[in-house]
Structure 1
Amino acid sequence: MTNRSILAASGRTSSGRTASGRPASGRNVELIVFAVLVAGLTVAPLMVYPILLMKVLCFALFACAFNLLIGYGGLLSFGHAMFFGFAAYVSGYTIKAWGFPTELGILAGAAVAAVLGLVAGSIAIRRQGIYFAMVTLALAQMVFFFCLQAPFTGGEDGIQAIPRRPIFGVIDISRDIVLFYVVLAIFAAGFLIIWRTIHSPFGQVLKAIRENEARAISLGYAVDRFKLMAFVLSATLSGLAGATKAVVFQLASLTDVTWQMSGEVVLMTLVGGMGTVFGPIVGAAVIVVMQNTFTGFGEWVLVAQGCIFVLTVLLFRRGIVGEIVALAQRRRGEEDAAPPPVAEPADKQPPSDRGGVRASAAAGPSEASAPVSS
């Protein structure tokens, strides 16, 4: 398809602006914000426990991958934990039992998640709306029971004591501070892949499908193929996050593949701002820090998460970042709509502002014509 049809499907013009005439995107601003975020994270381990930071980064990547599917593709999945958790099992098993290097174990987990996403996506995209969500939930439950019964997963105990082998044989990740920078690099790479996808022609078609699928079909797009590609990419990056988390905590357990985990990533995305670039990162940080802070309250943390979910849906549907962006756009709109200053009429200006013409006339003819004495 041509760029013209892509722009038509997404409601944009060839000048790079939307139909409303506003700039198409703030890509440079997003990159600057991301650079500042990464720069801040490089010094964060000096002030915050590295394990907590790595957990936030893993779930932030998971939420960003999920947001690619729901926020830009309009596809709600209730089964994304199957990619996150199953990749953790694959990564942990290949590293511990087969002796894979850490980087190959992580890549193996992401690759298996991609294959699983291809199979699950091929089945799920045949349905739309709530039916799509229910199909993904059913498939996730099948994966959960497989992980519970399979001999290599360790059952309810999971795979424990996953070794941290050196990255590329030279980077010793046995220290948390070193592993943190590896996790930060993985997160940055995954985020940039998502960011580039969002701002590519492929991403514009996804937005067009989300806004008006019938129109995208009428323009000749193979809608199901685009949905499947988005689903597989989201599953792959979710698997990358899960495999990385298994290395961080040296554990792959059933917790990562339960339907509750699928609910948590939905909550993170909603709290931060669905369909925004940085919303899932903020949402993941809020939820993970809340869980870590109130871990002593046991099951009451789940009650608090449920309350946050309800309040977000009822009162802050745009999420934290979404509300901030909407507020900034309203203020910018008010500034653009403000009328320009109008010059005062000549008859209302003070005499000194009009070159002394009226002042000379008021002085009388004798004073106006009198010679200037030296």
Structure 2
Amino acid sequence: MTGKSEPVQSGLASAHPRAKRIRIAIIMVSLAGLLLAPHLFYPIFLMKLLCFALFASAFNLLLGYTGLLSFGHACFFGGAAYFTAHAVKIWGWSPEAGILLGVAGAALLGLIMGAIAIRRQGIYFAMITLALAQLFYFFCLQASFTHGEDGIQSVPRGKLFGLINLHDASNMYYFVLAVFVIGLLIIWRFVNSPFGMILKSIRENEQRAISLGYSVNRYKLGAFVMSAALAGLAGGMKALVFQFATLTDVTWQMSGEVILMTLLGGIGTLAGPIIGAGMVVTLQNYLATSEFPVTIVTGLVFMACVLLFRRGLIGEFFASKLGRSLGFRPDS
């Protein structure tokens, strides 16, 4: 037994440093590409991609690492967009203060919705989140501060910390990029903390986690609130990028889009939702002016990925022989 296990252990030990070096190289190349991207692509397109990548990553924190499928995450994304847009335009708040209000509002909505929804599991949990999100949608439709179907338009971007003019597309892009990187770092730290390890154990075997003495509902609620807050961060950024907040941001279709992005890239991986968001946003952008219906094309791509890549694009790569030989794990 000892003679057979030693080569395996040594192989794993040698693979992990290599995987670490590969990750560092990928991160450095990606950051360099993102810094140079505004000179090659339309900045608004890039900012939209970053906002949705952060939104999908926030949703993946709940689905991929906790095992909870929410059909109502548009509530936090769109709600934060409304809060930020209203604070910046009507109250005259600075952009950073407006975004913080959006994050706080989304976290509060997540606390209320999560406290109700986590009492159930599986499809019942998903349906409760959908029902509560629809209630919020009709609230946004009727509330006076949201301006109904017109939404909140002409939202000023203002000056970041009173110094940096965000009406300049280049300044706005690098602000969005900085927030995106900070959001990913928060998710990475959250996932790799003892709290995140417990969430993974709940995902794998909830009854065993309960038997070990963990208050499962508290951990679920914590993950739900954190996911909602990060989704709100993405929504507040989107409101400033496009300078409006509308009902489109709180519809159930938006919740469906973020689920699609996460599944395409691969749930339970840090890079998967980013890749999935990039695919969906790129398809929407480049097919918008064509004769091809975007939803049908996106649906066909999703069907192909479900049939060929059950774990998503990144998930399948990590689970492949090449991915394992490089030291990656399916939940990397």
TM-score under structure 2 normalisation?
0.91
Q: Are 2:251 and 1:258 equivalent residues in the alignment?
A: yes
- The offset of 1:28, in angstroms, is 6.1
Supply the distance in 2 between the matched residues of 1:141 and 1:150 (Cα, whole angstroms): 14
Q: Is the 8 A contact 2:199 2:219 kept in 1?
A: yes
Aligned letter for 2:222? M
- Name the count of aligned residue pairs: 316
Query: Cα gap change, 1:171/1:328 in structure 2, threshold over 3 Å: closer, same or farther?
Result: farther
Q: Are 2:262 and 1:281 equivalent residues in the alignment?
A: no
Deviations 1:284-303 (A, max 9, x none): 01100100000024781111
Determine helix, strand or coil for the equivalent of 2:161: coil
Q: Which of 106, 109, 132 is 1:139 aligned to?
A: 132
Determine helix, strand or coil for the equivalent of 1:252: coil
* Aligned match of 1:84: 77
Range with bigger deviation, 319-328 or 147-156: 319-328
Query: Cα gap change, 1:273/1:133 in structure 2, threshold over 3 Å: closer, same or farther?
Result: same
Supply the distance in 2 between the matched residues of 1:330 and 1:171 (Cα, whole angstroms): 43
Question: What does residue range 155-304 of structure 1 map to in structure 2 within 5 Å?
Answer: 155-297=148-290, 300-304=293-297
Supply the distance in 1 between the matched residues of 2:324 and 2:100 (Cα, whole angstroms): 45
Q: Which of 120, 125, 128 is 2:121 aligned to?
A: 128
Supply the distance in 2 between the matched residues of 1:77 and 1:323 (Cα, whole angstroms): 23
Query: Cα gap change, 1:144/1:245 in structure 2, threshold over 3 Å: closer, same or farther?
Result: same
Q: Is the 8 A contact 2:265 2:312 kept in 1?
A: yes
Deviations 1:149-175 (A, max 9, x none): 101101111000000110000011111
* Aligned match of 1:14: none
Q: Which of 91, 97, 107 is 1:114 aligned to?
A: 107
Query: Cα gap change, 1:146/1:24 in structure 2, threshold over 3 Å: closer, same or farther?
Result: farther
Q: Is the 8 A contact 2:318 2:324 kept in 1?
A: no
Q: Is the 8 A contact 2:317 2:323 kept in 1?
A: no
Supply the distance in 2 between the matched residues of 1:275 and 1:125 (Cα, whole angstroms): 20
Supply the distance in 2 between the matched residues of 1:99 and 1:218 (Cα, whole angstroms): 51
Range with bigger deviation, 319-328 or 193-202: 319-328
Range with bigger deviation, 104-113 or 36-45: 36-45
Provide structure 1 residue ranges, at least 5 long, that are not aligned to the other structure.
1-16, 334-374
- The offset of 1:331, in angstroms, is 6.0
Q: Is the 8 A contact 2:305 2:313 kept in 1?
A: no
Instruction: Please report the RMSD computed on the Cα atoms of aligned residues, expressed in angstroms.
Output: 2.1
Supply the distance in 2 between the matched residues of 1:148 and 1:218 (Cα, whole angstroms): 45
Deviations 1:254-274 (A, max 9, x none): 111000000000000011111
Deviations 1:186-229 (A, max 9, x none): 00000000011111111111110000111111111110000000
Q: Is the 8 A contact 2:152 2:245 kept in 1?
A: yes
Q: Is the 8 A contact 2:78 2:250 kept in 1?
A: yes
Aligned letter for 2:167? S
Supply the distance in 2 between the matched residues of 1:64 and 1:329 (Cα, whole angstroms): 25
Supply the distance in 1 between the matched residues of 2:300 and 2:74 (Cα, whole angstroms): 22
TM-score under structure 1 normalisation?
0.81
* Aligned match of 2:300: 307
Supply the distance in 1 between the matched residues of 2:277 and 2:325 (Cα, whole angstroms): 29
Query: Cα gap change, 1:34/1:330 in structure 2, threshold over 3 Å: closer, same or farther?
Result: closer
Determine helix, strand or coil for the equivalent of 1:251: coil
Aligned letter for 1:264? E
Supply the distance in 2 between the matched residues of 1:315 and 1:131 (Cα, whole angstroms): 29
Supply the distance in 1 between the matched residues of 2:164 and 2:212 (Cα, whole angstroms): 50
* Aligned match of 1:345: none
- The offset of 1:21, in angstroms, is 6.8
- The offset of 1:308, in angstroms, is 2.3
Query: Cα gap change, 1:125/1:29 in structure 2, threshold over 3 Å: closer, same or farther?
Result: farther
Deviations 1:117-152 (A, max 9, x none): 000000000000010000000011001101011011
When Rg is computed on C-alpha atoms for both structures, the one with the higher figure is: 1
Supply the distance in 2 between the matched residues of 1:143 and 1:68 (Cα, whole angstroms): 22
Supply the distance in 2 between the matched residues of 1:30 and 1:307 (Cα, whole angstroms): 31
Supply the distance in 2 between the matched residues of 1:303 and 1:285 (Cα, whole angstroms): 17
Q: Are 2:87 and 1:94 equivalent residues in the alignment?
A: yes
Supply the distance in 2 between the matched residues of 1:32 and 1:91 (Cα, whole angstroms): 36
Query: Cα gap change, 1:209/1:298 in structure 2, threshold over 3 Å: closer, same or farther?
Result: farther
Deviations 1:278-334 (A, max 9, x none): 01111101100100000024781111222222332232111111122122456629x
Provide structure 2 residue ranges, at least 5 long, that are not aligned to the other structure.
1-7, 327-332
Query: Cα gap change, 1:224/1:24 in structure 2, threshold over 3 Å: closer, same or farther?
Result: farther
Supply the distance in 1 between the matched residues of 2:176 and 2:229 (Cα, whole angstroms): 16
Aligned letter for 2:38? P
Supply the distance in 1 between the matched residues of 2:325 and 2:302 (Cα, whole angstroms): 30
Aligned letter for 1:190? G
Q: Which of 300, 314, 326 is 1:321 aligned to?
A: 314
Identity %: 58
Deviations 1:315-372 (A, max 9, x none): 2111111122122456629xxxxxxxxxxxxxxxxxxxxxxxxxxxxxxxxxxxxxxx
Question: What does residue range 58-69 of structure 1 map to in structure 2 within 5 Å?
Answer: 58-69=51-62
